[in-house]
């Protein structure tokens, strides 16, 4: 095995192994609240993983309620390897015994051979090599603090966020790498596939060059076997030479070691947040002469993201591991220290650090003017309002992610509407008790101050019949014209049930002036009609009188003409 140095270039973009399904993301911020390094950027209402900041712990995958995070599937890649004709050998993570409920290595070997694999071996063989190298290092090398390098997520955490502690990180291969390299030494032309509960191993496999050809999760393997109707038998064959099977449990590495260097303190830490706290202690110089086993997952690898999401049984899983592990090492040849050596370089996250002036400006935009305004409610997912301000500066967060800010803005907006609307607003609860009343309603109903009616029954100021009907029916009544006799007012009244009938919102628009104007117009119209009727009657009388006079004149004329006609006839 040649010494290897993981480069910055190869490590960036690693979050491609864990990606977002945008259609599922509901902008709930649960992923950022659970991300220990806050490597998530919110854009267009969706959570995007920042590759060069992510440590691939998989917490966002586990906690996402909408299953908007998915691990990239490499099954097709493995099928291509198998179809190539090369012998494809599986390195099976020791946590398999817990994930597959009692199926031993022989059962898993038989099942995976049906899928086309050449052979199946336990990654615990590589774990044995690694723990022996740790023992040798502590005895032969003069080191102050040694941190295990088995967990790729912890390695990324140190390389990205605790670069000053890289000398403490054991420059030793991981069990996966050590085992796959050993397989390729022993089997000419072999291709290797690691299978386990960890998403970070996909990145480690990609960075391994030609040592690890592909990585599958237990979820991918299970789906593949289900497609082929393959089910491993639940048979375990005891083997006393298998102590390294304890590796996937918290303290499992130390449990398998000789711990001959008595000047060291040996202890195990699991969970990223606990590891971060320990690393901060080391940075402050509070810890010395220690061998520290670190695991990103609570409980060790048996608490890995795939195990935790689909197989959350930590006590049962530990008991399964314990019952399968032996008391002695696997009988294997130990590689040389040079072959086991790795060098882990720093990775630049490219995070920009704002000045105090810039942080202050952003805090003011968030409505945080004094330390007392910084509630640290945790809704946005950041540990403090200052951390949130830094994230905003870095383009990872938005001011609208602040719950107190949104509530204050909403309350201010709604208060402005309630206060300035010309409509009267009254809110009553399901006991018909007044809960809120605005200035317009107080003016309409001749109320001097809110305290005079707050908490009183609504029938003190209004007829409660309409409120009771709405509460019983659950149906809104809109723009109902009502005359408030006690106040000599006409209103258009709307009653709206809300919060499942627990409150009723009453909106009243004063239309008294409109009604008075309407009555005035009606009176003018009536008077005009009466005048028109009188004019018509008078005109009719005049017409009749004229007709009468014309009739009399016509008769007299007729008589005169008749007499004249008779006189002419006599002559």
Contact 53, 37 (CB under 8 A): yes
Q: Nearest 5 degrees, angle CA 247-CA 317-CA 58?
A: 70
Domain map of the chain by residue range?
4-344, 356-408, 421-510
Distance between start and end Cα atoms, the chain? 167
> Which DSSP string corresponds to 515-546?
HHHHHHHHHHHHHHHHHHHHHHHHHHHHHHHH
User: Can you read off the two tokens belonging to residue 56?
Assistant: 């691939």
User: Can you read off the two tokens belonging to residue 455?
Assistant: 């908490």
- Looking at CATH, the fold of the domain delimited by 356-408 is given as 3-methyladenine DNA Glycosylase II; Chain A, domain 3 (1.10.15)
- What is the pTM for the complete model shown? 0.71
The whole-angstrom separation of Cα 174 and Cα 180 is 10
Q: How many residues does the chain have?
A: 571
Q: What is the structure's pLDDT at 4?
A: 46
User: Can you read off the two tokens belonging to residue 300?
Assistant: 């060790």
Place of tokens 């720093």: 346
CA distances, 307 to each of 95, 299, 314, 414 (Å): 9, 11, 9, 47
The whole-angstrom separation of Cα 179 and Cα 184 is 9
CATH superfamily of 421-510: PAS domain (3.30.450.20)
The whole-angstrom separation of Cα 61 and Cα 63 is 6
**At 253, which helix (H) or strand (E)?**
helix 252-256
The whole-angstrom separation of Cα 366 and Cα 364 is 5
Q: What is the structure's pLDDT at 441?
A: 92
The whole-angstrom separation of Cα 483 and Cα 459 is 15
Q: What is the structure's pLDDT at 373?
A: 67
Q: What is the structure's pLDDT at 183?
A: 97
Tens-binned pLDDT, residue by residue, of the chain (571 aa): 444 443 333 433 444 787 777 667 777 778 888 899 998 887 766 788 888 899 999 988 888 888 878 888 999 999 999 999 999 999 999 999 999 988 999 999 999 999 999 999 999 999 999 999 999 999 999 899 999 999 999 999 999 999 999 999 999 999 999 999 999 999 999 999 999 999 999 999 999 989 999 999 999 999 999 999 999 999 988 889 999 999 999 999 999 999 999 999 999 999 999 999 999 999 999 999 999 999 999 999 999 888 766 767 888 899 999 999 999 999 999 999 999 998 899 999 888 888 888 888 888 887 777 776 666 666 667 778 888 888 888 877 776 666 565 555 555 666 777 778 889 999 999 889 999 899 999 999 999 988 889 889 999 999 999 999 998 998 999 999 999 988 989 999 999 998 777 889 999 999 998 888 888 887 877 877 777 777 777 877 877 777 777 777 777 776 766 776 676 666 5
Of residues 233, 201, 188, the one with CA closest to residue 126: 201
Q: What is the structure's pLDDT at 308?
A: 61
Q: What is the structure's pLDDT at 375?
A: 67
Contact 64, 27 (CB under 8 A): no
User: Can you read off the two tokens belonging to residue 358?
Assistant: 């810039």
Q: What is the structure's pLDDT at 5?
A: 43
């Amino acid at each position: 095995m040649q010494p290897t140095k993981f480069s910055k270039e190869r490590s960036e973009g690693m979050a491609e192994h864990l990606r977002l399904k945008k259609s599922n993301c509901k902008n709930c911020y649960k992923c950022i609240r659970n991300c220990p390094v806050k490597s998530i950027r919110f854009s267009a209402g969706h959570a995007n993983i920042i590759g060069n900041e992510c440590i691939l712990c998989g917490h966002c995958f586990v906690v996402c309620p909408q299953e908007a995070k998915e691990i990239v599937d490499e099954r097709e890649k493995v099928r291509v390897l198998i179809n190539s004709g090369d012998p494809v050998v599986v390195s099976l993570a020791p946590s398999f015994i817990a994930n597959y409920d009692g199926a031993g290595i022989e059962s898993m070997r038989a099942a995976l051979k049906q899928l086309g694999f050449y052979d199946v071996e336990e990654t615990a063989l590589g774990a044995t090599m690694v723990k022996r190298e740790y023992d040798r290092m502590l005895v032969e090398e003069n080191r102050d603090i040694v941190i295990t390098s088995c967990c790729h997520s912890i390695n990324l955490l140190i390389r990205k966020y605790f670069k000053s502690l890289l000398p403490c990180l054991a420059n030793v291969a991981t069990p996966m790498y050590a085992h796959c390299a050993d397989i390729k030494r022993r089997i000419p032309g072999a291709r290797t596939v690691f299978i386990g509960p960890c998403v970070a191993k996909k990145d480690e496999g990609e960075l391994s060059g030609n040592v690890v050809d592909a990585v599958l999760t237990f979820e991918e393997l299970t789906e593949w076997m289900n497609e082929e109707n393959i089910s491993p038998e639940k048979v375990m064959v005891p083997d006393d030479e298998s102590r390294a099977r304890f590796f996937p449990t918290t303290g499992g590495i130390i449990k398998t070691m000789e711990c001959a260097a008595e000047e060291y303190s040996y202890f195990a830490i699991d969970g990223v947040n606990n590891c971060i706290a320990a690393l901060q202690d080391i940075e402050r110089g509070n810890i010395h002469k220690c061998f520290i086993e670190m695991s990103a997952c609570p409980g060790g690898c048996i608490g890995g993201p795939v195990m935790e999401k689909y197989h959350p049984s930590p006590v049962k899983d530990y008991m399964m591991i314990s019952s399968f592990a032996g008391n002695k090492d696997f009988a294997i040849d130990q590689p040389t220290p040079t072959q086991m050596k790795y060098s882990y370089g720093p990775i630049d996250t490219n995070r920009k650090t704002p000045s105090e002036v810039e942080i202050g400006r952003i805090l003011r935009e968030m409505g945080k003017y004094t330390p007392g305004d910084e509630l640290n409610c945790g809704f946005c997912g950041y540990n403090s309002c200052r951390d949130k301000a830094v994230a905003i500066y870095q383009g990872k967060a938005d001011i609208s992610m602040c719950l107190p800010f949104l509530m204050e803005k909403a309350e201010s907006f709604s208060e402005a509407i309630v206060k300035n609307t010309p409509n009267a607003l009254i809110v009553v609860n399901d006991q018909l008790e007044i809960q809120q009343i605005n200035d317009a309603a107080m003016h309409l109903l001749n109320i001097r101050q809110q305290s005079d009616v707050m908490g009183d029954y609504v029938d003190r100021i209004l007829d409660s019949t309409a409120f009771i009907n709405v509460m019983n029916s659950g149906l809104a009544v809109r723009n109902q014209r009502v005359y408030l006799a006690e106040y000599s007012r006409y209103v258009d009244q709307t009653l709206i049930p809300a919060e499942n009938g627990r409150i009723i919102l009453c909106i009243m628009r004063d239309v008294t002036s409109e009604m008075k104007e309407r009555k005035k117009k009606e009176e003018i119209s009536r008077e005009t009609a009466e005048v028109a009727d009188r004019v018509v009657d008078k005109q009719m009388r005049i017409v009749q009188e004229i007709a009468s006079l014309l009739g009399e004149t016509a008769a007299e004329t007729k008589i005169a003409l008749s007499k004249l006609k008779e006189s002419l006839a006599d002559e």
